[in-house]
């Protein structure tokens, strides 16, 4: 369990200030925001799971997620951009059901302190599921995640989940940020499940932000990874991260696929036999 250290408190306060300033620096015009409820800079929608019920999304999760796990008695997962935690808690149930002999631990992270507070409030699995407010790009992320792993005697996460987050990273951090994100996720993971948003969602996210008077995404027009975003992500995962595709799901009702990638050379070692 992560202790609430001075560093975690600092992270939390920094997250809170960042989120408040990002919400306040360009106040939402009431009319625009009512007419554009989907406007957001980071995808930090407060009512996300009212529109995307977490239980329904579990139907797409590939069995290969747990089939490829090593023999360790513990399965440790990371959910990046966990929002209010509904999907993280469903993932916990799914993994517990399918790996009944393992102890499951999941850490969900999100940059928005309000969303994390909600996730913590609804967390009925607090011994196994942890929610931490942290921006994936913050300097402390590596420390937070490596402490979480080492407390569980793990070198890497058995699985990392990137559900509907790649577009927000890409829009805010550009092509180089997307590459860095994927490389960093892969470096601490055995398998990675990605649900990339297609290119048309980028345009619609920008349109909604503009209509809500929240500015724009300054990097959007200069992005070289465009149109077939899924293909670009796959190329980064293959060429830069040395991960290979294991499984592609059918499209869900909002036309997105889940794609599972696995580290090419299996370097599982000591901790798996611990
Ligand atoms: C569209 S929501 C998806 C929520 C969840 N992953 C799902 O698919 O059900 C994207 C989430 O990613 C979070 N997010 C965006 N950029 C992030 C970053 N750099 N670090 C951590 N979380 C981030 C947002 O706050 C938001 O809650």
Domains of the chain plus CATH, in order, are 6-273 (3.40.50.150)
Longest CA–CA span in the chain (Å) reads 58
What residues have CB less than 8 Å from 123, skipping those under 6 apart? 85, 89, 129, 131
Instruction: Please say if the pLDDT value at position 262 is more than 50.
Output: yes
Instruction: Give the pLDDT confidence score for residue 55 in this predicted structure.
Output: 87
Look at residue 1 and give its three-state secondary structure.
Answer: coil
For 62-111, how does the pLDDT look when each residue is reduced to its tens digit (9 = 90+)? 999 988 777 889 999 999 999 999 999 999 999 999 999 999 999 999 99
Instruction: Give the pLDDT confidence score for residue 32 in this predicted structure.
Output: 31
| Spatial separation of the C-alpha atoms in residues 267 and 70, rounded to whole Å | 11
Instruction: Please say if the pLDDT value at position 270 is more than 70.
Output: no
Beta bridge partners of 261: 192, 245
Best probe residue, ligand 1, of 41, 81, 83 (max atoms within 8 Å of C-beta): 81
State which H helix or E strand residue 172 sits in.
Answer: helix 166-187
Instruction: Please say if the pLDDT value at position 29 is more than 80.
Output: no
Closest CA to 247 of 106, 63, 26, 72: 63
Indicate the average pLDDT of the chain.
86
Closest C-alpha residue for ligand 1 atom 23 = 81
pTM: 0.88
| Spatial separation of the C-alpha atoms in residues 89 and 129, rounded to whole Å | 7
What atom in ligand 1 is closest to the CA of residue 115? 27
**112 neighbors 135 (Cβ within 8 angstroms):** no
Beta bridge partners of 109: 80, 132
**185 neighbors 160 (Cβ within 8 angstroms):** yes
Of 265 and 244, which is predicted with more confidence? 244
Closest CA to 158 of 70, 253, 52: 70
Look at residue 151 and give its three-state secondary structure.
Answer: helix
CA of 195 from ligand 1 middle (Å) equals: 12
Ligand 1: residues within 6 Å at CB? 42-44, 48, 81-83, 87, 109-112, 115, 135-137, 163-165, 168-169
Instruction: Give the pLDDT confidence score for residue 24 in this predicted structure.
Output: 34
Q: Which two tokens stand for residue 134?
A: 């942290």
């Amino acid at each position: 369990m992560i202790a609430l250290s001075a560093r975690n408190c600092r992270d939390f306060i920094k997250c809170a200030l960042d989120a408040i300033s990002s919400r306040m620096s360009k106040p939402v015009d009431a009319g625009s925001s009512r007419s554009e409820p989907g406007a957001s800079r980071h995808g930090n929608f407060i009512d996300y799971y009212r529109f995307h019920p977490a239980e329904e999304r579990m139907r797409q999760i590939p069995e290969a997620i747990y089939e490829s796990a090593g023999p360790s008695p513990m399965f440790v997962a990371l959910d990046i951009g966990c929002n209010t935690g509904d999907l993280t808690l469903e993932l916990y149930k799914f993994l517990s059901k399918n790996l009944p002999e393992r102890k499951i631990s999941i850490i969900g992270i999100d940059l928005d302190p309000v969303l994390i507070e909600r996730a913590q409030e609804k967390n009925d699995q607090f011994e196994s599921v942890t929610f931490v407010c942290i921006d994936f790009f913050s300097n402390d992320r590596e420390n937070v995640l490596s402490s979480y792993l080492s407390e569980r005697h793990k070198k890497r996460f058995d699985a990392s989940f990137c559900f509907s987050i790649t577009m927000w990273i890409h829009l805010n951090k550009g092509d180089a940020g997307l590459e860095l994100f994927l490389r960093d996720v892969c470096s601490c993971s055995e398998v990675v499940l990605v649900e990339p948003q297609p290119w048309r969602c980028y345009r619609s996210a920008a349109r909604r932000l503009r209509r809500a008077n929240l500015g724009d995404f300054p990097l959007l027009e200069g992005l070289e990874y465009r149109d077939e975003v899924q293909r670009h992500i796959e190329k980064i995962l293959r060429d830069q991260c040395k991960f290979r595709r294991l499984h592609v799901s059918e499209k869900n009702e909002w036309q997105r696929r889940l794609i599972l990638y696995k580290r090419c050379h299996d370097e599982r070692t000591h901790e798996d036999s611990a």
